[in-house]
Copies of this chain bind each other. A is one copy, B any other.
């Protein structure tokens, strides 16, 4: 038995039936040429030959004397964790997203290792999907996605054991001995945990950040308006997803002299503006997004060192170019500040930016005075085509965690030449979430038009041919 780190334990303590603490990834595959309708069934038969699971897939949580430990599950049962099901006819992406919406709202059994893999067949043309759900206490979303990618192959002919049977070696973060870590290192750990989701882990965050960063660290002056996204959430979810050609975003970035990250934020900002306007709830003040920023390259502690910045989304501005420019100015200012700091101070800065969220939540003010309105996370992806048992991976969509007072989360993952946008929200607080897909497309088109770029249809024709004709229509809820 190994004790969980304080932050990993926090994900177990914070979890309630309205606020499950798992992350997931939705992958869509095309079976290899010439394979029959039993491809998925045969693959599962092969998987069943692997009787055990490797860390972290064999670990279940156990509470002893008020502390959480990982314990090996000696009765590992693949048929509990791996769930083979099918979409009803006509098996559109619409049915797939409805299914993901439902299963993402269900808590996992804490008497088992905290992960579930759904293998879903019945998409048109023999395509199938996997939805792999892991508890945040076991692994964070970025590491989970990496693990899933590592378990696949870049070689169409390679057959690997299933994800959970491979020794990918990524055991859960161990609990540090109390004396072994300095304050800033603990802060780093907190920042990692807080990369995707924030409230609730804020206990003591203000003090930690303040004392670590010193009084001279500027606390951002941004104030976010109350929105329908900053409310207590229910236990049901809605998931919407669509992918867009990276080339379109790059072209916008070149024309507007902005990074792809800024363009991504601007696209989300346009979609959010449209959504709130259509619900007659657009605040006069601009929305603020919390954006994780990777510090990769500055550290050898692994790829997950991040800090956070608060970006003004300029949702009060009608003109898409002016909106993008305002966003650029906001993130540039934040990054300039970060650039001048040493790595650990950067982490502290990020923490300070969001530090008010903990107290705001605790005092019940998070709805009235949210420090920010939502998390928009752009996760680095894989460039090469991946294969699982010869089936090619076509699309990847992250499914993150809405929390109380952060009812909507947008996580974006790159894969090959596309960006997969995953919108996950409380089904009740954020009605008609699926329209965000149209608004996102419109938001891109609006920028292209304002910048005098080709119409998206013409541009689409130049993107590499993909497996599905009429892709955008087919991929929407």
Instruction: Point out residues on A near B: beta carbons under 8 Å.
Output: 17-18, 37-38, 40-41, 75, 77, 79-80, 83-90, 95, 98-99, 102, 105-107, 109-112, 119, 121-122, 234-236, 427-428, 431
Contact = CB atoms under 8 A, between A and B. Distances in A.
Counting chain B CB atoms within 10 Å of each CB, the highest count among A102, A111, A112 belongs to A111
Nearest to A107: B17
Interface residues of A, dominant DSSP: loop
B236 A109 contact: yes
A98 B234 CA distance: 28
B79 A84 contact: no
Given A41-B89, A107-B235, 12 more contacts: A17-B110, A37-B89, A38-B89, A40-B88, A41-B88, A77-B427, A79-B98, A85-B87, A86-B122, A106-B107, A110-B235, A112-B236
Nearest to A106: B106
Counting chain B CB atoms within 10 Å of each CB, the highest count among A109, A112, A119 belongs to A109
Nearest to A95: B84
Contact of A86 (B38, B41, B88, B110): B88
B86 A89 contact: yes
B105 A428 contact: no
A85 B83 contact: no
A118 to B, nearest CB: 10
A446 B456 CA distance: 73
Contacts of A98: 79, 83-84
Contacts of A110: 17-18, 235
A175 B234 CA distance: 26
